[in-house]
Each structure stands twice: as C-alpha cells, then as structure tokens.
Chain A
Amino acid sequence: MLALIAMGILPLSWILGNALTCVLDPKKAKHEYSWEDRILAGILIMIGLAEGAHLFIMVRGQSVFAFTKYFSLLLAATAGLSIAILAICIFRNKQRCLFPKLEKNEWILASLFLALVAAQVVLLCVRTTVYLGYDETLETVTTLLKSERLYEVNPLTGKPYAAGMPSRLKILCLPTIYASLSQITKASPELVTWHLIPVLTLLCSYLAYASLAKALFEEKTHRLLFLAVVALLVFVGDAGYGLEGFGLLHAGFQGTTIRSAVLLPWTFGLCLRGKWKLLPLVILAEACIVWTLYGLGMSLLLVLLYLAFLMSWKTLSKRKEAA
C-alpha cells in the first residue's frame, strides 16, 4: 500500500500540474513548461489541498482521520477536474508531453546520475541517520495519530498544552500529511516520516534541478552532466548543517529541506526562464510548510532579489548599448 501510494504520487502530481499549466497557458503549455515543472506544480497543488483540509479540521477541532477523509475528497475532485481539463486540452491542441529520449552517448551520463541517485535512495531507505536538533516532527506525527484534535497535546511530553503553541506553527500542514499517510497505509510514522518522505523530497529535488538544467543548457549532454554534478554535490553537502546535501540525507522530511532543495531551485529556474505565473504557487506552498515571516518566505525573497537584479542587468545593458 505504501509503495503504491509512493509510486502514485508522482503520476498524480503530473496530471494536476499538467492541468494547471494548461489553464495558465492554454495555447502554449506544450512549449512553456517541462514535465518536471508539471510534476512539481502538481505536488504544490497537493500541498495546497492538504493545507485547506488541515485548516478546515483545525478550525472544527477534528482529528487526523477527518483530515484524511477531506484531503482524499479534495484530491479526488481536483484529479477529476484535472483529467477533464487535460482531455479538453489534448482535444484542442493535440498536446502531448513526451519524456526525454536519449542518444547512446548520453546514456553514460544518465547512468552515472541515476547510480548516484540510487545510492542516495538506498541510504535513505536503510539508514536512520536523522538530524533531530531542531525538530519534533516524528513526535508530532505520533501524537496527532493518537489525538482527537490537532495540536492540543504537547508532542514532547504527551501532556495537554497549558499555554498552547503559536498559530503560525499550527497552520503548517506537513505533520498532518505524514500522519494521514501513515494512517492510510498502516505504515509506522517512523517509516513514513524518516524514510518515505525524504526519498520523495530527494526525487523532487532532482526534478527541480532538472527543470533548472533545462533553463541553463540547450544540450542534453550538458543537462545530464549538470544533474550528475548536483548529485555529487548532495553527497559533498553532507558535511554541515544547513547545506542542501545534509538536509536531503538527514532531514528530508523537514519543511526547510523541501524549501531549500525543491522550492528554491525550482523558483530560480522559473525566474531564469521568466515563468512568473507559477511563482505564487511556490510562495504559497512555502508558507504552508515552513515557519515564515507572516507568509513571506525565502522564495519570495529570492524572486524579489532576482527581479531587482534583472532590472539592474537590463539598465546596465541598455547603457552599454547606448555607449
């Protein structure tokens, strides 16, 4: 069941993302967005739906069981709508999203990249080297599964909160998603939180970098080499807390890792290509999973910095041309 759900998440997110890109750019969707973009957009839509269900049950004082019910309903409705939109798009534009075809010499680079990723996936599956210094996710997940209402019990002690917790933490939906996944699959919270989710985060991170690679390089060989170097840097980045590699290999379930390894590289890729329409989705998703300054997260900061940079670049280029 767990494997089925894990394997189903990426195709489902592809369907959702594909429908969104069709809606955003009905005529140009084929050329504007890559399949990596579509999968990542789909995952962010799922986070959005989860956030909706999470807030709904929190306001109504319900349990994770109710979350699972509402989230499944929302997801099923959105997936149905997405399939309908896709069908219309395909009928109108004969749109097809093809997965990449590789030449013989590109297979060597692809194999090197896939070998590195496979090694990381195996490490995440067999090891339990989790960094817990700033984190109480697993305790929160186990507590949510036992509680009748969200965030009424202190996950670190198991006693009811006397003074409560900050609202800006209450709105974060990742623990609820993990608890729900654990409930649906009957897998232990530990397996879901410390193994399954980090593997998904790792794969999503490579999707984000694949999207960025398409923004940076024309040739497939260069893109594959870029991805292989990124995979190597993930191992190298294992050296210290706060680095992407460290997060991906030791804390892939944390919102901060998803932000720095998935959302920000993708944001940067979208900025480079000037695909602004998907950026609000990224910024909102970050607010749902990471403690931000009243919703203002690092994705927004990156976008603002990039816009300022772009304006300066254009001004300087014009001056140079004029000179």
Chain B
Amino acid sequence: MELLKNAWNGWLLRSGQGKLAALLLCVLLLAWLLKLGNERQRKTFLFGAIAALLCIFPVSAVLFMLYQTRFYDYEWIWAVVPMTAVIALGVVLLLERLKQSKASKKQKLATVILGLAIILLCSSLGKPKWTIEDQMKTRAEVANVLAQVRNYAGGEICLWAPKEVMEAARSIDADVTLLYGRTLWQEHLNAFSYEEDTQDQRDLYVWMQLAGAYQRLDVPVPADTDVVGTPPKAGSTLEGISCIQKAVAFGANEILLPGSISEEEVLKLEQAFGVSPVRVGAYLLLDME
C-alpha cells in the first residue's frame, strides 16, 4: 500500500515540478487530433502514450518500481517513456504542419514564438526547485580549512566537524578519515553498504549541528532534527564536553567546532581538555592528539 501511495504521490509531485510530462501529454493530444506523422512516427507517439499511461496508472507504476529495485524513486520509472524524443518529434511535425498551412507569415511567426514560450515555461526559468549551488566556493573553503588542519596534525587525521566540512572532506582529501559519513543526513546513501550508524554517531552529529545554532556547548534537542534513523530524545540535553570526550574515544583527533560558540564556552573547553582551540577559517580547531 505504501508503494502504491508513493506511486500516486509521485505523479502529483512530478506534474507540479517539471511540467515536461504535461507538455508530453499536450503533444500526444495534438498528434492524435491532427493525425501527425507517418507510420513510424505514429508508432513513436502511441508507444510514448502507452508508456506514459503505464507510469501514471498506480498499479503498473508499482510493478515498474519493483522492477527497477526499491532503491530508485518514482521519477526513475519515467526513464522508460521516450519523453524528450516524443516532444521533439511532435514539435518538428507541428512546425512542418504550420509551414504547409495557409496562415500568413505573421501568424506563423506568432505561433512559433508562442510555442517556444510554452516550452520555456515548462522549465524552471532559471530557478529550479532543486536548488543546486555551485560547489566550487564551498569546496575551496573546505580545502583551505583541511590544509590548515593538516598543518596542526602530526600524522593521520580522523576528523569530526560540522556537516558542510564532513560532506566535502573525503572527496577533497582521501587521506582524511571521518567519524561518520553523509549517511547520517542522506538516507539513500545507506543502500550503498551494509554499514549501520550507531546511536552515538547520531548524537554526535545532532550535537555538532546544534552547537553552531545555539552558540553554546550544552544544547537542548528539538523535536525535529535532520538525522537519519532514531534521533536523540526531544527535550533532552546533549552536553558538549561529554560529546567531545565520546568523539575522542571513537578516534577523532582533529575536531572542528562551529566558530560561533561563545568565548565563555571556549574557556570551558580549555579547562576540560587542557587544549586551546585555534581559529581555522570559520571554525575552532581542537587538536586532540
């Protein structure tokens, strides 16, 4: 039932997002009404229509989703629909029909411009919902931070840091090991291995994210956290000193804390560990070697 629900919601979500599927249906409708194309082209339209219907109809969509393995989401079953080909074929044939029509040049030009506008309106118009920022800047910053950490570290580095650093660290420097990986906030990545994150790792991840937000060491756990798996109990307090001790026990020797932690709290760290945090970019480095 859950898969069936996903299949139905998938179509609703998709039609709201890309709109290309709606354009496909429009093209198919026009191709049918205007009887466009030769036999091979009509086959393409009809096959596209059938494949699209199979992807929209929840029962067949479920079968497709099971076939493509449960790792992939609903949108991937649409790979079986030759969407781009059918739309492009429809556009070419419509333009050909327009060329042969008795309409004036102005009318033809207006129709072409309108068609182009419709296609462009199906795009995100430069503002995709899936915001993807240029990673170049972030990666350069993280690379700079890692280089500075390496200056302080004597030998091998086992790093514990805020999410944005952990996210890029391994792809920049494969010699750095991490206390946990992206599997803690990107659930799909868990399918790539049989490894399981522990509750301690989840606590440490949540603490690191909250310490920056609250600007202190002891942080209350809110009801909603972005951690994958069971989050720490809402309303409980994660204590900074014990979290850092736990991280060191797990092998972390270089710890990057959010730079926004107040000076009073930094003093507490110095007293607890006998190490003065060093400012590295936007972070505070605790060298625990």
Contact = CB atoms under 8 A, between A and B. Distances in A.
Given A139-B171, A157-B180, A209-B85, A164 B18 contact: no
Contacts of A212: 85
Interface residues of A, number: 74
A131 B132 contact: yes
A236 B123 contact: yes
B177 A265 contact: no
Given A142-B170, A291-B69, A301-B80, A128 B123 contact: no
Contacts of B192: 136, 165-166, 169
A216 B44 contact: yes
Interface string B179-214: 111110010110011111000000000000000000
B193 A165 contact: yes
Interface stretch (B100-108, B134-142, B221-229, B280-288): B134-142
B92 A156 contact: no
Nearest to A134: B188
A154 B14 CA distance: 34
B278 interface: no
B91 interface: yes
Contact of B76 (A143, A169, A242, A305): A242
A232 interface: yes
Contacts of A190: 139, 171
A156 B169 CA distance: 9
A225 interface: yes
Given A161-B195, A226-B92, A313-B43, A131 B130 contact: yes
B176 interface: yes
Interface string B152-187: 000000000000000100111111111111110010
B42 to A, nearest CB: 9
Interface string A241-267: 111101000100000100110001100
Contact of B95 (A225, A272, A313): A225
What does DSSP make chain B's interface, helix, strand, loop or mixed? helix
Contacts, number: 209
Contacts of B35: none
A187 interface: no
Interface in A271-323: 272, 291-293, 296, 298, 301-302, 305-306, 309-310, 313
A133 B129 CA distance: 14
Contact of A163 (B75, B95, B194): B194
Given A146-B174, A240-B14, A129 B132 contact: yes
A238 B125 CA distance: 9
Contacts of A156: 170, 178, 181-183, 189
Given A157-B180, A309-B46, A134 B130 contact: no
A157 B79 contact: no
Contacts of A216: 40-41, 44, 85, 89
Interface string B80-103: 101111011101100110000000
Contact of A237 (B20, B50, B73, B95): B20
Nearest to B21: A243
A229 B27 CA distance: 13
B25 interface: no
Contacts of B122: 236, 239
B264 interface: no
Interface residues of B, number: 74
A157 B184 CA distance: 11
Contacts of A264: 79-80, 82
Contact of B119 (A142, A166, A209, A232): A232
Interface string A157-200: 11101111110010000000000000000000110000000000
B19 interface: yes
Contact of B177 (A157, A165, A306): A157
B171 A142 contact: yes
B130 A272 contact: no
B211 to A, nearest CB: 21
A239 B80 contact: no
B235 interface: no
B17 A298 contact: no
Interface of A: 127-134, 136, 138-139, 142-143, 145-146, 154-159, 161-166, 169, 189-190, 209, 212, 215-217, 222, 225-226, 229-230, 232-244, 246, 250, 256, 259-260, 264-265, 268, 272, 291-293, 296, 298, 301-302, 305-306, 309-310, 313
Given A237-B123, A296-B67, A305-B50, 11 more contacts: A128-B134, A131-B132, A132-B167, A146-B175, A155-B170, A156-B181, A163-B196, A212-B85, A240-B17, A240-B129, A256-B79
13 contacts: A131-B130, A134-B189, A154-B193, A156-B189, A158-B177, A190-B139, A216-B40, A236-B20, A239-B19, A239-B20, A239-B124, A256-B76, A305-B51
Q: Which 3 pairs show the lowest CB-CB distances between chains A and B?
A: A156-B181, A242-B75, A158-B177
Interface of B: 14, 17-20, 40-41, 43-44, 46-47, 50-51, 54, 64, 67-69, 71-73, 75-76, 78-80, 82-85, 87-89, 91-92, 95-96, 119-120, 122-124, 128-130, 132-136, 139, 167, 170-183, 186, 188-189, 192-196
